[in-house]
Amino acid sequence: MTLGEKLKKARINKNFTQEYLAEMLNVSQKTYSNFENDKSKPGFSQVEEMAKVLDVSVLDFLSGDGLSFNYDNTHGGNNGFIYQNQLPEKLIEQYEERIKELKEQVEYWKNQSQESK
Domain of residue 38, residue span: 3-115
**Residues 29 and 19: beta-carbon distance below 8 Å:** yes
Q: Calculate mean pLDDT across residues 29-45.
A: 90
* Residue 82 bridge partners (DSSP): 69
Phi (first) and psi of residue 70, to 5 degrees? -75, 145
Query: Average pLDDT, stretch 34-49?
Result: 88
Question: For residue 46, what is the domain's CATH number?
Answer: 1.10.260.40
**pTM value?**
0.54
Q: Are 79 and 73 in contact (CB under 8 A)?
A: yes
Give start and end residues of each alpha helix (H) in 1-117: 3-13, 18-25, 29-36, 44-54, 58-62, 87-115
pLDDT in tens, 58-80: 887 777 644 444 444 444 444 44
Total domains in the chain come to 1
